[in-house]
Structure 1
Amino acid sequence: MQEPGQHNIALFSCSTDEFGHDPFVYEHWLVLIVSGRSEMFSDERIVSYPQGTLGLIRKNQLIKTTKKADGEKPFKSISICIDQQTLKKFSAEYGVKAEGIYTGEPFVLLENDVFMRSYFNSIMPYFAQPEKLTPVLAQIKTTEAIVLLLRNAALKNFLFDFSEPHKIDLEAYMNRYFSYNVPVTQFAKLTGRSISSFKRDFAKIFNTTPEKWLQKRRLEMAYFLIAQKNRKPSEVYLEVGFENLSHFSRIFKKEFGVNASRL
């Protein structure tokens, strides 16, 4: 996912498997898979979402995905960024407010009903003529998406809970999400801490810095996948949280004394 641009509406397409490089979701996103499928990773399992899947992804989440083509059909999705500024303006104008803190799932599957189908069909022509999608029109289409979603009363707290993440169990969270390639500042925010309190709490728990701990945990996971699961270094370096294969190979050898490709 990318931070919202001028229009808040994006068409993504790829013809080969592509791993999600930025797993931090900054805003709510309404996503329809037009073709192909997406695989979403967690520490426990992999869930595959086929063509036609419509879902709502909550802000401030770590989500790791792979986009896969379906034969000759490329992976293609339409994404609508429902940003906090738009939601706060909508809340002020129409008096829609959350009834409490949202405690549900960070990814909600939605029924692709006739109204939602018509909504996404109305967007498709703009991808052939993007200059027609002015900022005003894009804002109108984003507001339309909010109104359609609010037909489901259970989504009101999802959309209009503007509270920041509360302080949570740091040790459990880091052991679950260490393989997600995001800055330490994002880990601090997601665990409900300032960067200074995050580093202070981290040192008390792990007796080292976040940067050193993250690198070591990611290398240990990579070693396990390569040595025990017969995975290739080129298959695992992104999965465990590294951006560059050559950098990964270099520090892997420094840590374990052997080239990853020789295991």
Structure 2
Amino acid sequence: MISPEEILPGVLFYSYLSAVCKEKVCLWNYHTLVMQLSGTLTLQTATQRISISAGETLLIAKNQVGTLSKQPPPGGQYETIVISLQEDLLRRIALEEKIAANGKYTGPLNRLVPVNEFLQGYFKSVVPYARESGVEMTDKLGILKVKEGVTLLIDALPALRDLFFDFSEPYKIDLEKFMLHNFHFNIPVEQFALITGRSLAGFKRDFRKTFNSAPRQWLQGKRLEKARYLIQHERKKPSAIYLDLGFKSLSHFSYSFKEKYGVSPNQLTS
């Protein structure tokens, strides 16, 4: 089975990992619902760390960047179902059901969904499409399933009405605060622009005003600065920190570090 496999393209996904522990950086452009079937999923953002295990459900709000760690159970397989609550679909639901936000959402961006028999029944109805090889969900049925899920979520957590159905234009978030909290995530500059509510040109312009530097240069410098601190003051090994600081390989990290500081990271550990 391919991992992840789409049940309904762009909306419902079935992730299947056999005895493999994986970690990756993710950017969520849409509100996302994750139901854990087996194994453990850990979400780490700049402000929250949440883990869920089999039978639990996590809601991840849109316009965030973070790390996902997927851990299969001992001797077992990692399984999860992911539902992407895309804005076009939420707008359609809002029009059909005459739903509108009551105000600005002020709750946590990521939260465990309280378990109730209705949501349990809902997810059980989706599982067969994921587990039965060759079974495909039609667009019409898929939209109905997403609509049903959104309705049940709002019944369980009424505040989500303001999260799901606020279609106002993204506001420009505090660039300095956001970048200082999220510089270590290895995502393209274009994605940083999107998530901070700016065009690429606007992001570069605001970035230079804020940091007096181009984004890529600042990001590399900040990551290397953090690396030096971790190696010198917390005695971390270069091999243990380079991925967490947004470098794709140890060799690239070592080269960049030596170019900036004149010594290799390993020389600082000796």
Normalised TM-score (structure 1): 0.87
Structure 1 residues 261 and 47, CA gap change in structure 2 (3 angstroms): farther
3-state secondary structure, aligned to 1:124: helix
Alignment equivalent of 2:52, drawn from 43, 49, 52: 49
Shift of the 28–43 alpha-carbon distance from structure 1 to 2, 3 Å rule, reads closer
Closer/same/farther in 2, CA of residues 47 and 149 from structure 1, 3 Å limit? closer
User: Cα gap change, 1:140/1:25 in structure 2, threshold over 3 Å: closer, same or farther?
Assistant: same
Within 5 Å, give how 1:231-250 maps onto structure 2: 231-250=236-255
Q: Quote the residue 1:24 is aligned against.
A: 27
Percent identity over the alignment is: 36
Against the structure 1 CA distance between its residues 8 and 257, is the aligned structure 2 distance closer, same or farther, given a 3 Å change threshold? same
| Partner amino acid, structure 1, of 2:64 | Q
1:222, distance to aligned residue in structure 2 (A)? 2.8
> Quick one: distance in 1 between partners of 2:193 and 2:127?
38
Contact 1:253 1:259 in 2 (8 A): yes
- Does structure 1 residue 129 correspond to structure 2 residue 133? yes
8 A Cα contact 2:45 2:65, kept in partner: no
For the residue of structure 2 that corresponds to 1:216, the secondary structure is helix
> Does structure 1 retain, via aligned residues, the 8 Å contact 2:39–2:73?
yes
CA deviation profile, 1:171-193 (whole Å, cap 9, x unmatched): 11111111122222222233333
Instruction: Give the drift of 1:31.
Output: 0.7
- 1:5-24 to structure 2, matched below 5 A, reads 6=9, 8-14=11-17, 15-21=19-25, 23-24=26-27
1:158 is paired with a residue of what secondary structure? helix
Partner of residue 40, structure 2? 37
How far is 1:203 from its partner? 1.3
Give CA deviations for 1:86-121 in whole Å, capped at 9, x if unaligned: 111111111111122323221121112111111111
Which residue number corresponds to residue 159 of structure 2? 154
Alpha-carbon contact 2:33-2:59 (below 8 Å) kept? yes
Q: For residue 195 of structure 1, what is the amino acid of its counterpart?
A: L
More off after superposition, 45-54 vs 153-162 = 45-54
Distance 1:253 1:228 in 2: 18
Task: Report the RMSD for the aligned CA atoms in angstroms.
Answer: 2.4
Report what 2:81 is aligned to.
Answer: 78
Specify the alignment match of 1:209 in structure 2.
Answer: 214
- State whether residues 24 and 69 of structure 2, in contact with CA within 8 Å, keep that contact through their aligned partners in structure 1: yes
